[in-house]
Amino acid sequence: MSGTTVRKWIGPFLAAVAMVVSIGILVVSIVESHERKPDAERLWVADPTPAIAQLDGIAASISERGEGLMAARQVATSSSRVIDGLMERSRGAETVMYTIVSGGSLRNVANNFGIFHHEITDWNPGVGLDTDLPAGSKVVVFQHKAGARSESIGRASAGTLRDGVPMLEGPGRVLRANRFKLWGTASTVNRMDWVLTQWAKRYPERQLILVGNLSLRSGGKVTPHKSHQSGRDIDISYPQVWDGVEEIHWEKMNTHNLDREQTWDLIDLLVGTNAISVIYVDYELQRLLYEYAKETNRYDDVRLKGLLQFPDDASVEGRIISHAPGHVDHLHVRFLCDSRDTQCVDG
């Protein structure tokens, strides 16, 4: 082949090679970008809707980008044995650890959390179910199943919970319920974690909020409740008039011991999630909150009417804060169904 012919074809040939290489790079880039999906929904990622994502500090509670461990003292009773331990989770992980302080066994821990014996032994290979575990032993008490997503099914008063996640200790709270009654949907746990973390952040000198029952791990009937069956209900304490010293307990609230200002502050945080179905507050306590709001000009009449049943009849529907018998010593918070929970029924 002559030099002229070679020069004639070398240019188009190199151009074709460059095009093939470019196409190859493009294909690889497309494949890689397709495979590089955002982090899969982790244990506590709860469909961060725009309303939630805009809330101050939400990244620290929902996005899993926070650092460090959340840990707090917890005393749990299983059968006749007391287990004193620490609860912790890594925000980037899907494993929940329990650190035993004064001794126990996997059986004790499993019974306390309401998890199957075969699960806890699978999560802690090489440890016998009844092996005495010394203080400082770390026990896995929850491991997220690949591809699983928590889901509220049915109504709060006639439903179940699929792949529930545990409520843990953290800022602004003290857990005061049996561990096997402290399971909820990821969205419920996330939102409540945000509310209580904000409570601690904004009001660091105030009392901790007591956290009572949520749901069983798989939902269903929770004694003594009619509701709490589908992972969206949670009982919390009213902020009390407090001397800053005495330990907080569940107390029946009245005109003398209800801290009206702090109760409104807590309600504002809850309502600020834009995910509240209802907050049950005793009708007489609604009166105290109403009078305080009027006296301090905290809200205008339109806002109050949208929040409280009082001064209208306790049977009036459609108010965020509603009366139900048995809520003089705690608020009952119910979150709306997650947008992806197609079998969930609000109300």
Q: CA-CA distance, 19 to 27, in Å (whole number)?
A: 12
Between 64 and 15, the more confident residue is 15
- pLDDT, residue 13, reads 54
Between 69 and 283, the more confident residue is 283
Give the burial class of 157: count Cβ atoms within 10 A of its Cβ; 0-12 exposed, 13-18 middle, 19 or more buried.
middle
In 3-state terms, what secondary structure has residue 50?
helix
Q: What pLDDT band is residue 340 in, cutting at 50, 70 and 90?
A: very high
Q: How is residue 58 written in tokens?
A: 């939400």
Q: CA-CA distance, 240 to 346, in Å (whole number)?
A: 30
Q: CA-CA distance, 132 to 63, in Å (whole number)?
A: 37
Residue 327 CA, distance from chain mean position:
22
The share of the chain scoring above pLDDT 90, in percent, equals: 62
- pLDDT, residue 85, reads 42
- pLDDT, residue 81, reads 27
Per the DSSP assignment, residues forming a β-bridge with 35 are none
Element holding 278 (H helix, E strand):
strand 276-280
Interval 111-152: pLDDT, tens:
989 999 999 999 999 999 999 999 889 999 888 888 889 999
Q: Please, are residues 129 and 107 in contact by the beta-carbon 8 Å criterion?
A: yes
Averaged pLDDT for residues 248-256: 96
Q: What pLDDT band is residue 6 in, cutting at 50, 70 and 90?
A: very low
Averaged pLDDT for residues 200-223: 96
Q: What pLDDT band is residue 70 in, cutting at 50, 70 and 90?
A: very low
Lowest average pLDDT, out of 18-27, 165-174, 191-200, goes to 18-27
Sequence-ordered list of residues with C-beta below 8 angstroms from that of 139, at least 6 positions apart, any chain:
97, 98, 99, 100, 106, 109, 120, 124, 127, 133
Averaged pLDDT for residues 183-203: 95
Q: Identify the CA nearest to 55 among candidates 269, 340, 307, 321.
A: 269
DSSP 312: S
Q: How is residue 347 written in tokens?
A: 């109300």
Interval 302-318: pLDDT, tens:
999 999 999 999 999 99
Per the DSSP assignment, residues forming a β-bridge with 334 are 233, 278
Through-space distance between the first and last CA atoms of the chain, rounded to whole angstroms: 85
